[in-house]
Amino acid sequence: MNYHWNWGIFFEPNPMGTGTYLDMLLSGLVLTLKTGALAWIIALITGSIVGVMRTLPSKGAYWFGFAYVEFFRNMPLLVQLFLWFFVLPELLPKAAGLWLKQLPNAPFWTAAIGIGFFMSARVAVQLQAGIGSLPRGQKMAATALGLTTIQGYRYVLLPMAFRIILPPLTSEFLNTIKNTAVAITIGLLELTGQARSMQEFSFQVFEAFTAATLLYLLVNAVVVTSMRFLERYVAIPGYITGK
Amino acid sequence: MFSNFDFEVVRRSLPYLFYEGMTFTVTLTALSALGGLIFGTAIALMRLSGFKILGRIAGVYVDFMRSLPLVLVIFWFYFLVPYIGQWVTGASRPISVGAFASSLITFIMFEAAYFSEIMRAGIQSISRGQPAAANALGLTYAQTMRYVVLPQAFRNMLPVLITQTIVLFQDTSLVYVLSITDFLGAASKVAQRDGRLVEMYLFAAIVYFTISCVASFGVRRLQARIAIIR
């Protein structure tokens, strides 16, 4: 190997004048986490609504949920980001389109919304499965107690379903964080993007990518560990994972 | 809203989009799925082999690959493969590998981690009595796997494997970051040349959507069929 290693590169100043190369990567990490967090909030809220709709007795709600999931699941995330970023502003009325294009931090908002909706389809499927896994009697008991449909979901079905699907939701959350790397294509300088520009400025390919890899592994480990605690905390007594 | 659209640009670029772009995408998807399945099965067998060290290595590999974003892995291999090639062939300089070879290696290595988890579940779904019976019949470990366990595991997991291949098909669009002319890359090149981003990206979205939709409906029918036989 005639590759010239230079691990000290992280402490050399970067050409942008924003501190060292390490600072550059860390600012990328922060942006990755911010984008991931916002996208996850969007995914969780819309995904929960759609997931519940897919379990409602109403045919219309079911079909809407079905179409929603198929729509967001059957296109590559990259294409969806392009649709949000390049196509949507052109399809809107002129003034609105212009406003969108001139928005500061447009890549950030586009990435968060695009990834959020992309992941919401997956959350919806998980939640539908979670609600479906509950015994039928729970819904009936809620109705027999005089709870309305909304109350039944709010107090009986959802608290159970969310706790059951916590492990798959954890991996969907990790997927959300990982998917923010796709936003490099619309110019978001998240962790992968910063590693890439560090490589372009300094020619230290492997140092840059090694650092990015370690940071991703660290994020992964932190999320997995904290979710383990949460899982244990909310475990349902009587289930395999329960106390 | 669609008044100043130029759908002629899509029609004009159809041969380029499909002969160049889609051919690349489909070839990459098919070869990666095949390679990923073979490697993935090997990894799954390592994990279930009972040799602690082999199992650990395979487990670490799977966990490692699954915690990294695909885009980063694509970059990694893009820069790493020339050096590995140099090391393997003993050349004096990093050898140049084509865009196709580089992305194929990337996707095989990346998908192997995901396919191995599917195959592991498939192998574990076979009842214990079967390998025991094969053993009693005097079959070696390799024969047991080849004739008894793997065919059933593969068949049981076929819907999941195809679903993963559909995901892979969509993920191949990420080679865009290396400026490769896959289907999306081709669409994007035409879009930028002719200044027709809206038409080309909408068309690309429709094509991806249609193919994935048809494939996933196929999976659902297949699932129903397999469920009836069992």
Walk along chain A (243 residues) and give the pLDDT tens digit of each residue. Answer: 567 888 888 888 888 778 888 889 999 999 999 999 999 999 999 999 999 999 998 999 999 999 999 999 999 999 999 999 999 988 888 888 888 888 888 899 999 999 999 999 999 999 999 999 999 899 999 999 999 999 999 999 999 999 999 999 999 999 999 999 999 999 999 999 999 999 888 888 898 999 999 999 999 999 999 998 998 888 887 775 554
The answer for residues whose C-beta is within 8 angstroms of residue B164's C-beta and 6 or more apart is B33, B111, B114, B115, B118
Q: What is the pLDDT of residue B64?
A: 94
Q: What is the pLDDT of residue A241?
A: 55
ipTM for the complex? 0.89
CB-nearest partner of A87 from B70, B71, B198: B198
Q: What is the pLDDT of residue A35?
A: 96
The answer to whether the CB atoms of B69 and A206 lie below 8 A apart is no
What's the rounded Cα separation, in Å, for the pair A81 and A83?
5
The answer for residues whose C-beta is within 8 angstroms of residue A131's C-beta and 6 or more apart is A51, A52, A55, A157, A158, A161
CB-nearest partner of B174 from A3, A71, A78: A78
B65-105 residue pLDDT tens: 999 999 999 999 998 888 888 888 888 888 888 888 999 99
**Which residues of A lie closer than 8 Å to B, measured between beta carbons?**
1-3, 70-71, 73-80, 82-83, 86-87, 90-91, 174, 178-182, 184-185, 192, 195-196, 199, 205-206, 209, 212-213, 216-217, 220
Q: What is the pLDDT of residue A165?
A: 92
CB neighbours of residue A216 within 10 Å: 24
A205-218 residue pLDDT tens: 898 999 999 999 99
Which residues in chain B have their CB less than 8 angstroms from residue A70's CB? 213, 216
Q: What angle do CA A160, A163, A168 make, to 5 degrees?
A: 130
Low-confidence ranges of chain B (pLDDT < 50): 228, 230
User: 3-state SS of chain B: helix, strand, coil percent to 5?
Assistant: 85, 0, 15
CB-nearest partner of B205 from A75, A181, A182: A75
Read off the pTM.
0.90
**Which residues of B lie closer than 8 Å to A, measured between beta carbons?**
1, 64, 67-72, 75-76, 79-80, 83, 86-87, 93-94, 170-171, 173-174, 176-177, 184, 188, 197-198, 201-202, 204-205, 208-209, 212-213, 216
Which region, left, alpha or beta, applies to residue A187 given φ > 0 means left and ψ of -120 to 50 means alpha? left
Which chain A residue has its CA at the smallest distance from B208's CA? A75
